[in-house]
Amino acid sequence: MHMANQSTYRILDYSDLGLVDYKTAWDLQKEIFNLRLMNEINDTFFLLEHPHTYTLGKVAEKENLLSSSEQLEELGISVYEIDRGGDITYHGPGQIVGYPIINLINWKQDTHQYLRGLEEVIMLTCQDYGIKTERNPNYTGVWIGSRKITAIGIKVSRWITMHGFAFNVNTDLNFFGGIIPCGIKDKEVTSLSKEIGNEILLSEVKEKLVSNFQKVFDYKKIIIREKDSYLKTLINIS
């Protein structure tokens, strides 16, 4: 396993994109991926929310989408088949989605270590709120007993990462009823607000996520970028 030179001064660009259509964010990821691959930008970390969306990863079983097309239309839920690992999951308001687009050559050339790192970011953030979480040896993600609080699905190409995590904070968990989340039938989903007993400011959770991401992935400096500097590069903004 390749370890980055510990003296490397690593910089992370961070942007809070707010509420962004899934397709718009996916297009942006691809754009940023190409720029990172050509070494034209720093490692980049986006936090955002999506409108109601179900996404199916490369190995997803179609039968894990339980909702009919009529139900999807009635509830205003979009469906996308995408290029990350993992099965089916839900994105929606109140859930913080994290998309790190980083070069693992400068950290550790190990996708499993990267997955464990993403889990650690969420676990530290939950710990900040007094919530004890754990890993499940059989499934990627972050758990509180048999309740999943964060789904993780990534794509790594030429050691550059895409996609990331979906952290249920103030999420309406009823929308998980239209799917078998991650194809796992005997487990529940939960959220930070459900575990704590009240809603939490998303901006506060995002600050903690960025701080913990910096800690886990060993960045010396964070540069905060305005979302418009990213979104205006795309022609079709929803």
Domain limits for position 42: 11-231
CATH number at residue 119: 3.30.930.10
Residue 237 lies in a domain: no
- The answer to whether the pTM exceeds 0.85 is yes
Q: Measured between alpha carbons, how far is 75 from 3 in angstroms, rounded to an integer?
A: 47
Q: Which residue has the tokens 């992935």?
A: 217
Residue 235's pLDDT band, with cuts at 50, 70 and 90, is: very low
Phi, psi (degrees; rounded to nearest 5) at 107: -125, -85
Contact 98, 152 (CB under 8 A): no
Largest CA-CA distance found in the chain, in angstroms, rounded: 56
Residue 123 lies in a domain: yes
Q: What letter represents residue 210's amino acid?
A: V
Q: Measured between alpha carbons, how far is 38 from 82 in angstroms, rounded to an integer?
A: 23
Q: Measured between alpha carbons, how far is 72 from 83 in angstroms, rounded to an integer?
A: 22
Q: Of 185, 186, 151, 145, whose CA–CA distance to 168 is shortest?
A: 151
Residue 238 lies in a domain: no
Residue 21 lies in a domain: yes
Average pLDDT of the residues of the chain: 90
pLDDT, position 236: 45
Residue 104 lies in a domain: yes
Q: Measured between alpha carbons, how far is 210 from 197 in angstroms, rounded to an integer?
A: 24
Query: Which pLDDT tens digit goes with each residue over 21-79?
Result: 999 999 999 999 999 999 999 999 999 999 999 988 887 787 888 888 898 898 899 99
Query: Which pLDDT tens digit goes with each residue over 149-175?
Result: 999 999 999 999 999 999 999 999 998
Q: Which comes out higher in pLDDT, residue 179 or 80?
A: 80
pLDDT mean over 131-147? 94
Residues paired with residue 11 on neighbouring β-strands, in sequence order:
221
One DSSP character per residue, 144-206 reads ETTEEEEEEEEEEETTEEEEEEEEESS--GGGGGGB-GGG-TT-EE--HHHHHTS---HHHHH
Structural domain tally of the chain? 1
Residue 87 has pLDDT above 90, yes or no: no
Catalytic center residues: 182
Residue 6 lies in a domain: no
